[in-house]
Amino acid sequence: MTDRPTADRDPRPERLLALLQLLRQHRRPVAAESLAARLRVSRRTLYRDIAALRGQGAPIEGEAGIGYLLRPGFLLPPLMFSEEEVEALVLGTRWVAQQGDARLAAAARSAQARIAAVLPGALRDAAETTALLVPPRDMAPAWALPPLREAIRRERTMTLQYRTLEGEDSRRTVWPLAVGFFGSAQVLVAWCELRRDFRHFRIDRIAALEAGGRMPERRAALLRRWRAETGVLATDDC
């Protein structure tokens, strides 16, 4: 069965977004024929779309017979989302509102409201009536999540009082890198000074924590190493 077009759906916003994305991929002028072929529209339609984008403030240089170029630095207006991108944003913010700690949940609800405020009518309706739903949270967020997120942002070390899977108490000084959200647990990815290696700590097993000083290495570099060395995140390997 083929998809039937929706009678009240205007394809032009998505086409304008696609045109901007195509122009972003090139540093030299692109011929109108090439752009029209990629978008599967006529050159006449393409010229109208170029004029529409210019009218919205897009700094597109060039003309028919020469080609078109989008000047660097142009910021995409927040309303320029495709319908599927809107669904992805709504699904993501709904998930965080359900699964995150109180501060993350509040931020997600605020983001939802801001997104809805700048969407045109048809996309706003699509966002409010999307069939992509998130189940209720089945566990309380770990109390340690907010200070750990702060330590990650500030690139600060943390000293943890941690209970292992075997029930043993352990004190670890770690360099927090990331937090993984799973259905049954939230997991801290960190460099462990004791083990001199990357380790994964279930946040609900942290009994106490203490903020430390600046991490000796940059988090971005450590995170790249972790991704290269581990690939798969285990839920408890301290």
Walk along the chain (238 residues) and give the pLDDT tens digit of each residue: 333 344 344 557 778 888 988 898 888 999 999 999 999 999 999 999 999 889 888 899 998 888 999 988 776 555 567 788 888 999 999 999 888 888 999 999 988 888 887 777 777 888 888 888 887 776 666 789 999 999 999 999 999 999 988 888 999 999 999 999 887 788 999 999 999 999 999 999 999 999 999 999 999 999 999 999 887 655 556 6
Query: Under CATH, to which class is 12-70 assigned?
Result: mainly alpha
The reported pLDDT for the residue numbered 79 is: 54
CB atoms < 10 A from the CB of 161, how many? 14
Longest distance between any two alpha carbons in the chain, whole Å: 74
Global pTM reads: 0.63
Side-chain half-sphere exposure of 27, counting CA atoms within 13 A:
0
The reported pLDDT for the residue numbered 4 is: 39
- 107: which residues sit within 8 A by CB, 6+ positions away? 96, 100
The reported pLDDT for the residue numbered 9 is: 47
Report whether 44 contacts 23 (CB < 8 A): no
Rounded to the nearest 5°, which phi and psi values hold at 161?
A: -95, 110
Task: Name the nearest CA neighbour of 97 among 139, 130, 136, 138.
Answer: 136
The reported pLDDT for the residue numbered 6 is: 42
The reported pLDDT for the residue numbered 159 is: 97
The reported pLDDT for the residue numbered 211 is: 94
In the numeric block, the tokens 């001199």 are attached to 196
The hierarchical CATH code for the domain 145-229 is 2.30.30
For the chain, domain boundaries? 12-70, 83-128, 145-229
The reported pLDDT for the residue numbered 196 is: 95
The reported pLDDT for the residue numbered 17 is: 81
